[in-house]
Amino acid sequence: MNYAMYVFCMLIWGLNFIAVKIQGTEAALEVSLFYRSLIAFVLFYMLLKIKRLPLRKAHTNYATIIGFGICNFAVSYLLLYYGTIYSTAALVTLIFSLKAITTPIFLRIVFKTPLQNKIYIGGALGLLSVVIILYPDLHTISSSFLLGIGLAAVGTIVTSIGDVFSYYNNEKNIDPVRANTIGMFVATLSLLVLALVTAKDFVFPTSLHYWGGLLYLAIFASFIAWLLYLLLVKDMGAAESSYMVALFPAIGGFASVVIGESTLSWNLVLGIVLAVLGAFIALSKKKKSEFPG
C-alpha cells in the first residue's frame, strides 16, 4: 500500500508542470491559478470540517501561515507557471527539484539548522545539470526562454521561503490541514485581487485539455497527493518519503519528450541523471520534511 501511494505521489507531482503546459493559456495564468486554488481551498475546507478542526485557534501565529500560503500557493506557483509557458516543463521540473538544496540553505540562514557538505555537492550537480541541458543551444536561446528559466529559478526560491514558514508551523504543532486550508484561502484571495487589479478576463475555456489540466492540478496535485504524502510520512518517515523529489526531473523529462515538447538528446538525459543524483545526495538521511507539491 505504501509503495502504491509513493509511486502515485511521485508521478502526480513529477507531472505537475506537464499539466500546466497541457492546460495552456486559453485563460490568463493568474485566472487559471485562481481557479485551481479555489477548488483546492474548497476541498481542504471540507476536510477541515470532516475532521472537526477549528479554523481559529488561540496562540496561533497567523503571519507564518499566511506567509506559507502566499509563498507556496500563490507567488511561487505563478512564477513557475510563467516559467513553464516561456521555457519547457522538463526544465522547470528540473529547476524546481533544486528546492532539495535551496530549502536547507534557507533553514540554515533562519533557524541555524545544520548544513552538511552533501547540500553543496547536490547543489553543484543540480546547477551542472541545468548548464548541460542548455549548453548545446546557448547561441539560439531566445530572451523569452531565458526569462522562463529565471522565473522558474525565482519561483523555486520563493517555494523554499514558503518551506521555512512551513517548518516553523510544524515546529509549533500547527495542524497541516488547518495550515493548508488557511494558506490556500489567502492564496486564492491574493490571486483574485491580482487578476482584478491587472484586468484579467475571467473566461471559462471550453477545451477538454484546459479543464483536464486544471482538475488534475487542483484535485490530484494540490489535494489527493498531499493527503497521501502525509500518510507516507506517518508510515515510512519523512526522510524516505521526501526521496521522491529526486525523481521529479526524470518523470518530467520523459513526459516532456512524450508530448513532443522536448527532443530526446544526450544532454537532456545526462542533465536529468545529474539532477536526480544531486537531489538524492542532498536528501540522503534527511530528518525534516517539506511538502513538495
| Domain total in the chain | 1
Domain annotation covers residue 130 = yes
pLDDT of residue 290 exceeding 70? no
CB 96 within 8 A of CB 80: yes
Domain annotation covers residue 289 = no
What pLDDT score does 120 carry? Answer: 86
Domain annotation covers residue 134 = yes
Domain annotation covers residue 291 = no
CB 8 within 8 A of CB 225: yes
**Mean of per-residue pLDDT scores for the chain:** 90
pLDDT of residue 172 exceeding 70? yes
pLDDT of residue 46 exceeding 90? yes
Domain annotation covers residue 185 = yes
Identity of the residue numbered 196 = L
From residue 141, give the alpha-carbon distance in Å to each of 134, 144, 178: 8, 8, 44
pLDDT of residue 286 exceeding 70? no
Q: Is the dihedral of CA 258, 227, 278, 101 positive or negative?
A: positive
**Would the pTM of this model clear 0.85, i.e. be above it?**
yes
Q: 172 is written with which cell numbers?
A: 509549533
Domain annotation covers residue 293 = no
What is the C-alpha to C-alpha distance for residues 139 and 134, in angstroms, rounded to an integer?
10
Quote the domain boundaries for residue 85: 2-283
What pLDDT score does 145 carry? Answer: 95
